Structure 1
Amino acid sequence: MARFEMLDAGSGVMGTTAQADVLLELGMMYAAGRDCEADVVSAHKWLNIAAIKGSARAAELRSELSTTMSKADIAKALREAREWMTAH
């Protein structure tokens, strides 16, 4: 999928801010269902990773999104984010 191509292309090359912006866009894409099915777990995952990379906006959106999610979904999103960060 294009999302992996974007991320792989930028690994180690993009600055942290630019990478956080791309990850923020992924989170917003999944949250809104833009060009994909809406998926709050994936949205939270990407917003969380963007926040870790330094995006204050992603942290705000992640916080807002988490108020609509179950504890199980939040745990799943955090687990997926941790796995992604470990692999990349």
Structure 2
Amino acid sequence: MTVLQFDGVMHRHVKQNPFEVESLLQRGLDAASGKAGSCNLIEAHKWFNLAAMRGSAQAVRYRREISQEMSGMEIAEAQRAARDWLSVH
């Protein structure tokens, strides 16, 4: 296990199934592109953050890109949503 820091928060990094990482990344892409309706950057950031925690360099890049379009409050909301997801999964 490795401990990583993302957005000022320490996270445990556990190697995951590559299909799970790809699924998390795809959920972020879907939310960012509005595939399920309208674009949702908070949801996209959440999924990219989760994929990044599992080692996806692509997710780190996408998260950084959309963060530039988000307010600090939106980023904080996305981070809370990612932590909530982790507490359940």
TM-score, normalising length: structure 1:
0.80
Identity of aligned residues (%): 39
Structure 2 residue ranges without an equivalent (≥5): 1-15
Q: CA RMSD in A?
A: 1.0
Moved over 6 A (4+): none
More helix by share: 1
More strand by share: 2
Q: Deviations over 1:4-36 (max 9, x none)?
A: xxxxxxxxxxx5211010010000000010133
* Matched residue SS, 1:77: helix
* Matched residue SS, 1:69: coil
TM-score, normalising length: structure 2:
0.79
* Matched residue SS, 2:62: helix
Structure 1 residue ranges without an equivalent (≥5): 1-14
Measured after TM superposition, the shift of residue 45 of structure 1 is 0.3
